[in-house]
């Protein structure tokens, strides 16, 4: 009896040592866009965090190998910003399951987006049971020596692929998304930001900022895809419209307004046009400053909206939109 259990213990220790040596633990991928504190949409609701779980910009050079803090969920989007090298030969973006290396045949490659500059080839495919799928999606080449933005929105049945902010195509899931555990980026590229954020947003949608209200200096950050128009509101505790922003992309017009004591006030219409055409991903930011809400579009100062609520430290309570036309990828509130 004694010898058998001693042997078992020795063997399992050996096994543990072997597994540990072979299983390098890679850093997490960032799951929020805010540099410090954040209240972030996650697959099940919202999540308050004191700091990002991982740097927004992954450290180092190729290969960039990052671990997902959790499984991948339909509704999340993987945002990758970077710059291609001056004379690139090969770049690949890989979603891996059960391995951390695209060339390893032990796991699955749920998505392999490759850019083979020598052959002038760019395509997306998968590797299952060590076999590359010959049914590829042609995707072209990212231009050399240039910054790029790509996004992979995880849908129930496919990845929605965005190149330079606009939908390129869909790529059907061939490996279950819930086993994807690592993102690997290889080759002649630098990565400036990498995040897995957001969730599927239903409509109509209403939520309470932080579960309470918007604080002073909070920055609401919405990443969405522009439809021909959209509209959303911030409501006070009595659900009166404290701020409403309507954007008509096709007419290139926007209006902002609020309801005070039961009546709509003056429409505000000014501001330079920074919105992308229909179909593109954009970022809206609304900062709750002392005197006004500061509105930004894709990082550009767009307009301010003088507070019409008596107490901006407490009166901005709900975020709401009611129409399908607002296609939201992620909603976050960043605090210092
Ligand atoms: C981000 O990842 C951390 C683990 O690093 C986890 O605790 C947290 O819930 C995640 N946040 C969101 C919004 O998914
Ligand atoms: C947006 O503007 C276009 C062109 O002026 C107009 O036809 C359309 O009705 C507007 N949409 C909304 C929702 O107001
Ligand atoms: C709204 O009503 C309150 C209470 O009746 C009043 O004190 C306030 O001046 C009114 N505000 C405006 C802008 O009319």
User: Going from the N-terminus, what domains does the chain have, and what CATH number goes with each?
Assistant: 6-41+201-335 (2.60.120.200), 60-197 (2.60.120.200)
Count of residues making up the chain: 336
Higher pLDDT, 8 or 197: 197
* Helices (runs of H) and strands (runs of E) counted in the chain: 1, 26
B/e letters for 128-160, b = 16+ CB within 10 Å, e = fewer, are eeeeeeeebbebeebeeeeebbbbbbbbeebbb
Contact 69 CB / ligand 1 (< 6 Å)? yes
Do the Cβ atoms of 325 and 232 come closer than 8 Å?
no
| CA of 261 relative to ligand 3 center, distance in Å | 6
Is the pLDDT confidence value at 15 over 50? no
Residue among 241, 326, 323 at smallest CA distance from 284 = 326
Is the pLDDT confidence value at 4 over 50? no
Confidence of residue 324 (pLDDT cuts 50, 70, 90): confident
| CA of 69 relative to ligand 1 center, distance in Å | 6
Q: What percent of the chain has pLDDT over 70?
A: 93
Cα 233 → chain centroid: 22
Give the pLDDT confidence of 124-157 residue by residue, as tens digits: 999 999 999 999 999 999 999 999 999 999 999 9
- What mean pLDDT do residues 231-250 have? 97
Contact 76 CB / ligand 1 (< 6 Å)? no
> Which ligand 1 atom is nearest residue 46's CA?
13
**Nearest ligand, CA 259:** 3
CA–CA gap between residue 43 and residue 20 (Å, rounded) = 31
> Which ligand 2 atom is nearest residue 249's CA?
1
∠ CA 202-207-209 to the nearest 5 degrees? 140
- What mean pLDDT do residues 280-288 have? 97
Written as six digits, the tokens of 304 are: 């301010």
| CA of 260 relative to ligand 3 center, distance in Å | 8
């Amino acid at each position: 009896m004694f010898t058998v259990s001693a042997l078992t213990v020795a063997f399992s220790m050996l096994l543990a040592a072997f597994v540990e040596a072979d299983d390098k633990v890679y850093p997490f991928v960032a799951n929020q866009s805010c540099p410090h504190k954040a209240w972030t949409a996650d697959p099940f609701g919202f999540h308050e965090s004191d700091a990002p779980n991982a740097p927004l910009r992954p450290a180092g050079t190729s290969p960039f190998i990052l671990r997902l803090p959790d499984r991948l969920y339909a509704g999340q989007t993987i945002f990758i910003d970077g710059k291609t090298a001056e004379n690139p030969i090969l770049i690949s973006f890989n979603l891996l399951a059960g391995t951390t290396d695209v060339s390893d045949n032990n796991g699955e490659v749920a998505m392999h987006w490759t850019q083979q500059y020598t052959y002038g080839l760019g395509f997306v495919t998968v590797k299952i049971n060590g076999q590359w799928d010959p049914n590829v999606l042609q995707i072209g080449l990212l231009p050399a020596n240039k910054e790029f933005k790509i996004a992979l929105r995880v849908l129930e049945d496919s990845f929605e692929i965005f190149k330079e902010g606009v939908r390129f195509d869909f790529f059907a899931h061939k490996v279950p998304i819930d086993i994807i555990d690592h993102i690997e980026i290889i080759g002649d590229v630098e990565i400036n930001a990498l995040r897995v954020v957001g969730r599927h947003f239903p409509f109509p949608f209403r939520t309470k900022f932080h579960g309470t209200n918007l604080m002073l200096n909070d920055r609401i950050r919405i990443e969405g895809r522009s439809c021909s128009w959209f509209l959303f509101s911030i409501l006070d505790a009595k659900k009166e419209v404290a701020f409403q922003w309507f954007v008509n992309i096709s007419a290139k017009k926007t209006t902002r307004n609020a309801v005070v004591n039961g009546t709509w006030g003056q429409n505000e219409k000014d501001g330079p046009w920074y919105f992308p055409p229909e179909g593109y991903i954009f970022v809206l930011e609304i900062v709750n400053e002392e005197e006004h809400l500061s509105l930004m579009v894709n990082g550009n100062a767009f307009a301010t909206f003088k507070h019409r609520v008596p107490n901006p430290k407490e009166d901005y309570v709900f975020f709401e939109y009611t129409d399908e036309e607002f296609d939201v990828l992620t909603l976050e509130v960043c605090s210092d």
